[in-house]
Amino acid sequence: MSAVIDLPVKPVPRAKSAPANTLEPRWIKYVLVTIALLFLTLFLFIPLVAVFTEALKKGWDVYVEAIVDPDAISAIKLTLIAAVISVPLNLLFGVAASWAIAKFSFRGKSILLTLIDLPFSVSPVISGLIYVLMFGAQGWFGPWLQDHNIKILFAVPGIVLATVFITFPFVARELIPLMQAQGSEEEEAALVLGASGWQMFRRVTLPNIKWGLLYGVILCNARAMGEFGAVSVVSGHIRGETNTMPLQVEILYNEYNFTAAFAIASLLALLALVTLAIKSFIEWRLHQSGETSADEAALMPVPHELPHPARST
């Protein structure tokens, strides 16, 4: 970022590969690369390959059969429902929160930012527990819900609520630093030129934040579909009714139906790979187009380089 300003001062053309040779012996480089690759092989590559190998162990037919199983299909449907509800809700929240926080100044902003981050630092199990305490039979609203015959816990609404909680900060966290770095001159200019508030948002703000928005949405979606701990607490594990894909994986695995468990797991692993691919693509796009403005400044240090606990599934 600062390279543009530093450039005239720098005496030597490019110090990219030279110091590596002047500073450390070659063998150190090879040893370090080997250690890194061994570590990543052990912890990343082998597990990734293992998911698909285990899933396809008994052949393609068994694999397909495991996926078209009615319980599996209903788990896939429920996972999609949870994501389809929670992602747009948190998208709406993310846009509203980042607009208020990035474009205006008010007291208590840093407290608000910390509060938005809270769901990231809470154990998934506790994220489920809080809804049990609210809607369970002994919970705050438990008796009232029972009287009115409304089921939240051990039913779809509970699963959706837990998913919304778990994925709450994703979009907001991507958008806030991005919009802060962009400032509000462009929006102000649009207003001065006679745009309505909505026109300004659609024509100016939205194009500026679209990549950050997409970034937040895909991370939010990956987490929504893959969440296990929180959903496990509120689901009740009713087969074909309240099982999401990760819960279905657990049930099949505990029944020693390993091939079927890994078949569902392989779908989730594919989702993870697609998420990583889109994420890399967005980062690459930003890198390509970002040399002009605040885009890069905003997206380099804050959102994806500094991960947060429990940002994943």
100 makes contact with another protein (CB under 8 A): yes
CB 75 within 8 A of CB 239: no
Least distance to another protein, CB of residue 188, Å:
5
Least distance to another protein, CB of residue 99, Å:
4
Within 8-47, which residues bind another protein (CB under 8 A)? Answer: 15, 17, 19-20, 22-25, 28-29, 32-33, 35-37, 39-40, 42-47
Task: Candidates 165, 170, 211, 215: give the one binding another protein (CB under 8 A).
Answer: 165
Least distance to another protein, CB of residue 174, Å:
14
238 makes contact with another protein (CB under 8 A): no
175 makes contact with another protein (CB under 8 A): no
CB 234 within 8 A of CB 158: yes
Q: Whole-angstrom distance between the N-terminal and C-terminal Cα of the chain? A: 32
Q: CB neighbours of 83 closer than 8 A, spacing ≥ 6? A: 163, 221, 224, 225
Phi-psi region of 257 (alpha: psi -120 to 50; beta: other; left: phi over 0): beta
Q: CB neighbours of 30 closer than 8 A, spacing ≥ 6? A: none
Within 260-279, which residues bind another protein (CB under 8 A)? Answer: 261-262, 265, 268-269, 271-273, 275-277, 279
Task: Candidates 67, 155, 157, 253: give the one binding another protein (CB under 8 A).
Answer: 253
Integer Cα distance of 266 and 49 in angstroms: 10
The identity of residue 271, as a single letter, is L
Q: How many CB atoms lie within 10 A of CB 220?
A: 28
227 makes contact with another protein (CB under 8 A): yes
**CB nearer to another protein: pick between 110 and 149:** 110
Least distance to another protein, CB of residue 241, Å:
18
Least distance to another protein, CB of residue 222, Å:
5
- Alpha-helical regions (H) of 206-257: 206-226, 229-235, 245-254
Within 102-161, which residues bind another protein (CB under 8 A)? Answer: 102-106, 112, 114-119, 121-126, 129-134, 136, 138-140, 161
Convert residues 47-86 into a mask of x (bound to another protein by CB under 8 A) and - (unbound). Answer: xx-xx--x--------------------------------
301 makes contact with another protein (CB under 8 A): yes
CA trace torsion 77, 82, 84, 86 (10° rounding)? 180
Q: Would you say the C-alpha torsion 168, 121, 39, 30 has a positive or negative sign?
A: positive
**CB nearer to another protein: pick between 59 and 307:** 307
